[in-house]
Structure 1
Amino acid sequence: MSSFPPIPYIPSLTLPAFLFETPAASILLPVLSGVTVGYAISPSDTKNIYRRLKQPPLHPPAWVFGPVWTALYATMGYTAYRAWTTGTTSLDLEKFKLAKQGATLYTIQLGLNLLWTPLFFGLQRPIAATANILALGGVVGSLAYVWGQVDPVCGYLLAPYLGWLSFATYLCAGCGYLNNWNFSHAKEE
C-alpha cells in the first residue's frame, strides 16, 4: 500500500513563527483574513449571486456562513497556536518536527481557504472553486492528522472544520452541477 509523501516543513512557504507563538495573532490572522476576503467582494454581490444560483437540497440561508466561518477561523487559529507551542516546546523531537510540518500545511490550507471565495463569487468559476475546496479538504485532513499527533486535542479541534468543509464541498459542487458549471446567469443585471 503506497501513500503520499508528507509535506515537509518549508520555511519559505510557512507563516512566520510569531504568528503561531502569540495567541492573539494566531486567532486574529485567520479571522481578519477571512473578513477581509469576504468584504473584498461586495457582501451584497455575494448574497445576490448566492440567491440567484440553483442550490442543492439542505442549503442554509446566506446569513449562516458569516458566524460559522468566524467560529471556524477562530478555532483554527487557536489550534495553530496550541499545536505550535506544544510541539516546539516539547522534548520529543518527533512532535517538534510534526508541529513545524503542520505549520506549513496550515499556511497552505489558509491560502486555499482564502482563495475559495474569490474563485466562487468573484470570478464565478465553479469548477476551479470545487477543485480548490477538494484540495483544501485534503490538506486540512492531513493537518488534523499531523497536529493530532502533536496534541490529540488539536486533531479534535479541527474536526468541525473538516465537517463544515465536507458540507461546503457538497454545496459548491452541487451549485456547480445544478447551474451547468456556469454562473453567468447569476451576475447582477
Structure 2
Amino acid sequence: MTTYIPALTIPSNVFLNPASSILLPIALGTSVGFGTRPSKAQKTYLALKQPPLHPPPWVFGPVWTVLYGLMGYAAYRATFTGLSPFSSPQTIQTTKHSMTVYTIQLGLNLVWMPLFFVAKRPIEATADIVVLLGLNGYLASLWGSIDSVAAWCHAPYIAWLGFATYLSAGAGYLNGWNLADKEETRDDVKQ
C-alpha cells in the first residue's frame, strides 16, 4: 500500500471543494495540451504509422476534458466521503493514501504528452502510460472501498487509459520506437 506523503499530495482542501477538484485536472490537462503546441502534436500524430482503430486527432481534446472532469469529481467524492468525521480510522488512512496515489497518477498523466510528442520518446511514454494504467487500477480499488460512485466514475478513465496504452505502444512499435523524424510537412498534407 502506498503511504500518505503530504509534500507530494494535492492539499485536501482542493479535493474537498468540488469545483476545484474537478477544474484542477481539466486546467492542468489543458495547459499541458496547449504547452505542447497542439498544431505540432497533431502534425506528428498524423505523420505516424498508427495501429488499427486509432481515432482522428480532434477526438482527444473533448474526451480528455470529460475524463479529467470525471476524475476530479471522483477524487472529490472519495475524499469527501473518506475524510468524513464519521469515517473509521482505516477509511481515513485509505483516503489519504488514495490522495497521494491520485496526485502521482495525475503527474504521470500530464507527463505523457510531452514525452511522446515533444521529446519524441515513445518507449518512455509507453512505460509511463503502463504505470499510469496500473496506478489507476489500484486507485479505483482504493476508492471502491471508500465510495463506490467514485470508483465507477473512474472506470471510463481506466478504459480510455487501456485504449491509450494500445495506441502508444502500437504507434511506438509501428514506427520502430523512433519518432525523431515524424512530423507531417505541408507537402504531405496536400497529397
TM-score (norm 2): 0.94
CA distance in 2, matches of 1:42, 1:50: 12
Q: Secondary structure at the match of 1:50?
A: helix
Matched, 1:157 2:157: no
2:31 to 29, 32, 36: 36
Tell me if the contact between 2:47 and 2:184 (Cα under 8 Å) persists in the aligned partners.
no
CA distance in 1, matches of 2:92, 2:35: 37
Matched, 1:75 2:70: yes
CA distance in 1, matches of 2:134, 2:46: 29
1:26 maps to what in 2?
Answer: 21
2:101 maps to what in 1?
Answer: 105
Matched, 1:185 2:181: yes
Q: How many pairs are equivalent? A: 184
- Listed one character per residue, the Cα deviations across residues 91-145 of structure 1 (whole Å, up to 9, x for unaligned) are 3222111111100000000000000000000101000000000010011111000
Residue 187 of structure 1: how far off its partner (Å): 3.2
1:84 maps to what in 2?
Answer: 79
Matched, 1:143 2:149: no
CA distance in 2, matches of 1:130, 1:67: 22
1:50 to 30, 36, 45: 45
Residue 62 of structure 1: how far off its partner (Å): 0.4
The letter for the 1-side match of 2:158 is L
The letter for the 2-side match of 1:88 is L
- What is the RMSD of the two structures over their aligned residues, measured on CA atoms? 0.9
CA distance in 2, matches of 1:107, 1:91: 22
TM-score (norm 1): 0.95
CA distance in 2, matches of 1:121, 1:38: 10
- Listed one character per residue, the Cα deviations across residues 128-182 of structure 1 (whole Å, up to 9, x for unaligned) are 0000000100111110000110011111111111100000000000000000000
Gaps of 5+ in 1: 1-5
1:130 maps to what in 2?
Answer: 126
Tell me if the contact between 2:140 and 2:154 (Cα under 8 Å) persists in the aligned partners.
yes
Residue 188 of structure 1: how far off its partner (Å): 5.5
CA distance in 2, matches of 1:67, 1:93: 39
